[in-house]
Amino acid sequence: MRVKLFVLAVLTVAVFHFPFEWDSLRAQETIDVHGRVVNGTEGAEIPEGLNVLMLVTAADGRLAGTGQVAPDAQGRFVFEAVQVQEGGSYTFSVDHLGVFYGMSLDVAGLAEDLVITVFETTRDASIIHVEQQVMVLVALNKDDQLASVLEFVSFVNPTDRTLLPDLTKLDQISFLRFALPPNPAELTVESDLPGGDIVSIGTGFAVTSPVAPGDHNMNFSYTVPYEDESIAYRQSLVQGADLFQVWVPESIPDVAVTGLEKIDPITVEGTAYRVYEGRDFPPGQGLQLEITGLPMPGVWSRFSGTVTGGAFWQIVIPSALGATLAAMLLWGMIRGYRPVTAGNMPDTAVMAVDPAERAAVVRAVAALDQRYQDGDLPKDEYRAQRPELMARVLDPGLDQDAEENEEASGEQRE
């Protein structure tokens, strides 16, 4: 009995004088991460020579670990003894034929086997189907006779192959193309696609990013000069469109759009818009678009509403996603998993990952998450994870409670 009391007393003293650092122990907890790579193209085999890359980011945005493993013949892989990072993120990616595929998860998501789906490629851009394209007249500067425009495009690759552009073969159109009004300037393009180039072509531009199977979004802004109170050009709609709309703020009363049907106005972010639309445009048919009634010098008319506010302009799905991910992961091109510690961290300034950049990478890989294509994620839930800006523009009826999430979103441009 005395022995038991003595042991109890020793343990009590130890607890008070040498308290356990539970947080430290928790931080050192490890888990084996299992997964497999599958080929989503019908009849295609699991590619040989693949490598699965892993990026572990701590809750504070710092790089916590990297790794690389090779799947076996059945596509199975495992990262052993990966540190648990509460509040952190785990990004997994595979490069197949020059296209990155992957996913981003929190700690809870590591409990189940991961599935990364890769696809074979095609050069046929006709597979791309545009569901909706919205052109928003953002601002008019009567002194410079300059219009600021923002366009949103929602499109889908309904096949089981990734469109991989090839600009060296001009006899086959293998990239996305979009028309612009005459003499545009300050073009900025953002999307949920992996990194690529923006190439001036014809009367618009082309995007050389790969387009994996599934739903995608793109937006681009630019300025365009006008004369004689109008902007007129041929909107070719190269990929076609189920729905093409032009939105004009009600605060600009004299502006109208010809070539499209005027429908009921809508209100987005507290701003009312007149809406003009056309439907069921086959690829390349397009329309002759004319915007009339633009203000001339001497007539004050400049729109400045919520559409030009910072929150509305914030885009949380930047371009160059694949390139950013690759650059971060290549730092850890090693076999197996290696946590980042004080001992192997050469330079804090180099190793630290800015939280905004981390968030961008997480969203980038999530956009490539193939769970939706595998049927593991409902379409409504998949769409709900998209940036609030895109959701509100393409679905004006979306719950306004999501505004808080939009305000927390970062902006990163290609």
Q: What's the CATH code of the domain at 149?
A: 2.60.40
Domain-embedded: residue 181: yes
Between 359 and 140, residue with greater pLDDT: 140
* Mean pLDDT of the region 259-274: 91
At 73, the amino acid letter reads A
DSSP code, position 166:
-
Residue type at 268? V
The pLDDT of 260-285, averaged and rounded, is 92
Is 290 domain-assigned?
Answer: yes
**Domain shared by 139 and 47, yes or no:** no
Residue 11: inside a domain: no
Question: Both 133 and 116 in a single domain?
Answer: no
CATH of the domain at 339: 2.60.40.10
Confidence bin at 93 (pLDDT 50/70/90): very high
8 found inside a domain: no
Does 249 lie in the same domain as 140? yes
Q: Estimate the crossing angle of helix 321-330 against helix 355-367, to 10 degrees.
A: 120
Mean pLDDT lowest for which of 18-22, 308-312, 341-345, 389-393? 308-312
In terms of Cα–Cα distance, which of 169, 68, 168, 52 is closest to 114? Answer: 52
Please check the confidence at residue 328 and state whether its pLDDT lies above 80. no
Paired tokens of 298: 């001497």
Confidence at residue 346, expressed as pLDDT on a 0 to 100 scale: 36
Answer yes or no: is 5 within a domain. no
- Please say whether the beta carbons of 207 and 198 come within 8 A: yes
Continuous segment of H or E residues that includes residue 5: helix 2-17
Q: So what's the pLDDT on residue 11?
A: 38
Which among 312, 335, 367 is the end of a domain?
Answer: 312
Instruction: Report the Cα 121 to chain-centroid distance in Å.
Output: 20
> Tell me: the pLDDT tens digits for 52-86?
999 999 999 888 899 999 999 999 999 999 999 99
Spatial distance between the Cα atoms of 243 and 194, rounded to a whole number of angstroms: 25
154 and 187 part of one domain: yes
Within-domain flag for 168: yes
Asked if pLDDT for residue 341 goes beyond 80, the answer is no
- Final residue of a domain: which of 312, 337, 356? 312
Measured between alpha carbons, how far is 160 from 119 in angstroms, rounded to an integer? 7
The token pair that represents 269 in the structure block: 């972010």
In 86-192, which ranges are E strands?
Answer: 89-96, 99-105, 114-118, 120-122, 129-141, 146-157, 161-163, 176-179, 185-191
Q: Interior CA angle at 158 toward 152 and 163, to 5°?
A: 80
Lowest mean pLDDT among 173-177, 185-189, 235-239, 365-369: 365-369
Helix/strand/coil for 184:
coil
Same domain for 57 and 154, yes or no, is no
**Residue 414 placed within a domain:** no
The reply to whether 17 falls in a domain is no
Between CA 396 and CA 241 the distance in angstroms is 19
State residue 271's pLDDT score: 87
Q: For residue 252, what is the DSSP state?
A: S
Tell me: do 159 and 187 sit in the same domain: yes
Domain identity same for 244 and 391: no
**What's the whole-number mean pLDDT along residues 131-151?**
91
Residue range(s) defining the domain that contains residue 65: 23-122+319-408
Q: What is the mean pLDDT of residues 382-397?
A: 40
Domain end, chosen from 278, 312, 346, is at 312
Do 287 and 173 belong to one domain?
A: yes
Across residues 307-313, what is the average pLDDT? 32
pLDDT tens figures, 158-167: 999 999 988 6
152 and 284: one domain?
yes
Q: How far apart are CA 324 and CA 292, in angstroms?
A: 42
Q: Which helix (H) or strand (E) holds 68?
A: strand 63-69
Same structural domain for residues 269 and 283? yes
Q: Are 170 and 191 contained in the same domain?
A: yes
Mean pLDDT of 122-139: 94
Domain count along the chain:
2
Confidence of residue 218 (pLDDT cuts 50, 70, 90): very high
360 shares a domain with 302: no
pLDDT for residue 397 is more than 50: no
